[in-house]
Amino acid sequence: MTLLYSDASAEGHLTPPGHPEQVARHAAVLKALAPLALAPRDCPEADEADLLRAHPARYLDRLRAAVPAQGSVALDADTHLSPGSLTAALKAAGGACAAVDAVLGGEDESAFVAMRPPGHHAERETAMGFCLLGTAAIAALRGLEHHGLDRVAVVDFDVHHGNGTQDILWTEGRAFFASTHQMPLYPGTGAAHETGAHGQVMNVPLRPGSGGAEAVAAWRLIAARLADWRPGLVVVSAGFDAHAADPLAQLNWTEADFAAVTALIRDAARAAGAPVVSVLEGGYDLAALGRSARVHVETLKEAAQ
């Protein structure tokens, strides 16, 4: 089995009409996962201690002060706050931390956190790219600091580079971060020469128009490095916007490619004896998002051979 974490607060984060990171994304994912009969667990709000490992208090204070009493405010051209946005982000991060606690406690070998807004673009002191809090990084740091793990890993197959995760973990020598992403594309980071303060960052950019063969080749390289890292926990930033149908990018992945990439990550984690916590990031064609999220979770929950 795979544990599922979700919360109604995800639909309280409202974006302007026509915005790709829309409320309907959450419903599309849950509808696609419904046939798997996974009983969703509620997401608690993240503890302040977990937030402060990734973001300084001054940033959190600015974010809280910016939440409007009504309507919407823009933090930048892409990133918006409504009255329910911060609660949704806090519960996305809290759900990821609860999932870390559950898998490290032996309840299951994997968990999927179906929440929004996404998080991998949120840098230590900057909200951007639809993201407010660095959910994946927060989850990884909980594994290190709360559970006392020696090493963790965050791997990211969203079509956009996880600049926020990289920023938060850049100097954290116990955390391996690896990403495939289209380049050139927003946010413009993620070149192969960006390797972290301790050589623990691995970026594999993909050319526009590339598809499954290139994806699987890249993830074989990452999976080998991941297995060598021997993490005690693997956190996945699961963005499904590399799909051929997605409107925001130009990669040509299919559901089969997401399954293949997920299997490589899953098997490398199993080889290290590490549980997996996957958190939803991008994916903006609703039908493709639902289908891709389902094959991702189905692949995570496949029994070991």
- In 3D space, the residue among 218, 240, 236, 219 whose CA is nearest the CA of residue 109 turns out to be 236
**In the block, which residue shows the tokens 């559901």?**
255
- In 3D space, the residue among 172, 138, 136, 139 whose CA is nearest the CA of residue 157 turns out to be 136
d(CA 180, CA 116): 21
d(CA 62, CA 59): 5
- Catalytic residue flag (residue 160): no
On whether the CB atoms of residues 116 and 280 are closer than 8 A, the answer is: yes
Structure tokens of 182?
């289209």
Q: Torsion over CA of 38, 30, 291 and 226, rounded to 10 degrees?
A: -60
Q: Give 8's contacts (C-beta < 8 A, 6+ positions apart).
A: none
On whether the CB atoms of residues 129 and 79 are closer than 8 A, the answer is: yes
Hey, is 125 helix, strand or coil?
coil
On whether the CB atoms of residues 99 and 143 are closer than 8 A, the answer is: no
On whether the CB atoms of residues 11 and 26 are closer than 8 A, the answer is: yes
On whether the CB atoms of residues 185 and 203 are closer than 8 A, the answer is: no
Catalytic residue chosen out of the listed positions 80, 121, 160, 296: 121
- In 3D space, the residue among 135, 124, 162 whose CA is nearest the CA of residue 10 turns out to be 135
H or E stretch covering 200 = none
d(CA 47, CA 133): 13
Structure tokens of 70?
């009504």
Which are the catalytic amino acids?
121
